[in-house]
Amino acid sequence: MSYEIIVCVKQVPDTENLTGDAMKEDGTVNRSALPAIVNPEDLNALELAVSVKDAHGGRVTVISMGPPNAAEALRECLYRGADTAVLLTDRRFAASDTLATSYVLSCAVRALGSPDILLCGRQAIDGDTAQIGPQLAEKLGLPQFTYVEQLADIGDGCVTVRRALDDGYEVVRGPLPALLTVTSEANAPRPPSAKRVMRYKKARAACELVNEDETLLGELRQRGLLIEQWGLEEIGAEEAACGGSGSPTRVKKIDSVQLRSEEHKPVEPTTEGLTELVEELIAEHILD
């Protein structure tokens, strides 16, 4: 049997590779200095989706909520094997916390028609919350399997996965449709294929076109190169549940990380220098 699969992805600043000007003098983050990438574990989710499709047939749709720029992340997913992409962009989605974001995503998933498998990365590297997956599953009334490090089996309307635990793992089986959040242990995401890059580099969302005329949109759609762009109305969301008004949490303040800074004692990398260090640590009962 073939599977309808939806993968939720997020475009994130590359916080793992902070460069010199990424942090401003006041300790806040200079987002514009950071390259935007597809959240790494979302690529593991996509890889899992594409490998299921390769083995069993079906269709992989990627969705992303974000600013118009997030279309770039969706193109990246098309290069890596997704069949279609939907960009959820609307000013009224801005400032959403995880509760509001999971609401918007749940509306989009419903609008797409319920999938057999819904996938997310375990967590995004800019927020590290790991909340979207479980909150989305709850809103759609789906069972959830978080921290998936291996898809052991899929068939007969069931999925069997190995989940990472703090001190080991468990293997669990449950019915489809279900939501899985995927860790970096699950697989190695395939690189963009040259053939797909050639094909999809021309894929565009409406917001990326200078002139959104219907003929051009129709042409792109016909050639399978249109990244669908949906706002609040298209997904039938309630405005009050989106964006800031749908978000119970507020960021009260942002501080730079307080780092101690003091003069250190230089130790020469010689036998004498190191002996003195070891003796001092033993004398101060730091070492036994």
Q: What part of residues 66-125 is at the interface with another protein (CB under 8 A)?
A: 97-99, 102, 125
Among 212, 233, 239, 279, binds another protein (CB under 8 A): 279
DSSP 273: H
- For the segment 140-199, give every residue that binds another protein (CB under 8 A): 143-147, 160, 163-175
- For the segment 20-59, give every residue that binds another protein (CB under 8 A): 22-23, 27-29
Nearer residue to another protein within complex by CB, 23 or 197: 23
The site map against another protein for 211-240 (x = CB under 8 A) is ------------------------------
Residue with tokens 């960009």: 87
**Does the CA dihedral 187-134-123-40 come out positive or negative?**
positive
Considering only CA atoms, which of 129, 104, 134 is closest in space to residue 118? 134
**Residue 108 main-chain phi, psi, to 5 deg:** -65, -40
Among 21, 128, 212, 213, binds another protein (CB under 8 A): 128
Half-sphere exposure of 187 (CA within 13 A, CB side): 21
Nearer residue to another protein within complex by CB, 23 or 217: 23
- For the segment 237-276, give every residue that binds another protein (CB under 8 A): 247-262, 264-269, 271, 273-275
Nearer residue to another protein within complex by CB, 210 or 259: 259
Compute how many other C-beta atoms are within 10 angstroms of the C-beta atom of residue 98.
20
